[in-house]
Amino acid sequence: MRSAEWLRDSVTPADPLQRASHRLSLAIAANKPFYPFYFVFMVGDDAWASLWTMLSMPIFLTIPLLGRRWPTLARVLVPLIGMVDTIFITKLFGEASGTELFLAPCVMIAALSFRHRERHWAVGLAGFAFVAFAVLHGRFGEPLAELDPQALHRLFELNAYSVASLLFLVTWLFAGQAEASGTARRT
């Protein structure tokens, strides 16, 4: 019973921002194994390459456990690992795949994951996403997986839909959490 309580407390901490961050990392990890299936169904080409997208899954699964000991680190890791994952997958499939669009939810996650007194983390992470985009956009070179133009178009559509879904999930999980954690700005 003790281990069940420990696991439950890792996933549902009392701090609302931490809880939203933990749930988001678990939702991302839970979706990772399905991406190759979506890829095969929607794209078809070079399905083996889609398996590489699961490399970050163990990290996302570990974030709630890290959050028990280092809550701020856990909230930093969700958008940071998301950005690194986005950069890697953009190199894997190329810019035309639309994977670079995942930087937008990463910035949103960074903006919503921190209290006012922790805003340096939010600004730093958003800055990292901006610099990564500015430096890498148009410079990724040839993708590691070659897809024909029709497959790339279908992959772009899949990724655009996935980005929209992730933005909705982030909004759903984080809406009002700053107020719930007592960080609302008083006027």
181 in a domain, yes or no? no
What tens digit of pLDDT does each residue of 163-183 get?
999 999 999 999 987 666 654
pLDDT confidence of residue 11: 57
Q: According to the model, what pLDDT value does residue 176 have?
A: 81
User: What CA–CA distance (Å, rounded) separates 94 from 69?
Assistant: 37
Question: Is residue 11 in a domain?
Answer: yes
Q: Which domain holds residue 149?
A: 2-176
Asked if residue 7 has pLDDT above 70, the reply is no
Q: 60 near 84, Cβ under 8 Å?
A: no
Please state, in angstroms and rounded to a whole number, the distance separating the CA atoms of residues 131 and 104: 13
How many angstroms separate the CA atoms of 97 and 20, rounded? Answer: 29
In a domain, 186, yes or no: no
* Helices vs. strands in the chain: H and E counts, helices first: 10, 0
The mean per-residue pLDDT over the stretch 68-93 comes to: 96
Distance CA 185, CA 132 (A): 31
pLDDT 10s digits, 94-119: 999 999 999 999 999 999 999 999 99
Number of domains making up the chain: 1
pLDDT at 90 over 60: yes
Report whether pLDDT(70) > 80.
yes
pLDDT at position 186 over 50: no
Handedness of CA 156, 161, 164, 169 (dihedral sign): negative
d(CA 150, CA 30): 28
pLDDT of 15 reads 87
Residue type (1 letter), 3: S
Residue 56: what residue type? S
In a domain, 187, yes or no: no
Instruction: Note whether residue 182 is domain-resident.
Output: no
Residue 84 lies in a domain: yes
Instruction: Please state, in angstroms and rounded to a whole number, the distance separating the CA atoms of residues 26 and 61.
Output: 6
Average pLDDT over the chain, rounded to an integer: 90
Residue 21 belongs to a domain: yes
Q: In 3D, which of 94, 99, 31, 86 has the Cα closest to residue 61?
A: 31
Dihedral, 31, 37, 39, 40 alpha carbons, nearest 10: 180
pLDDT tens digits, residue range 16-47?
A: 999 999 999 999 999 999 999 888 888 876 67
pTM of the model: 0.88
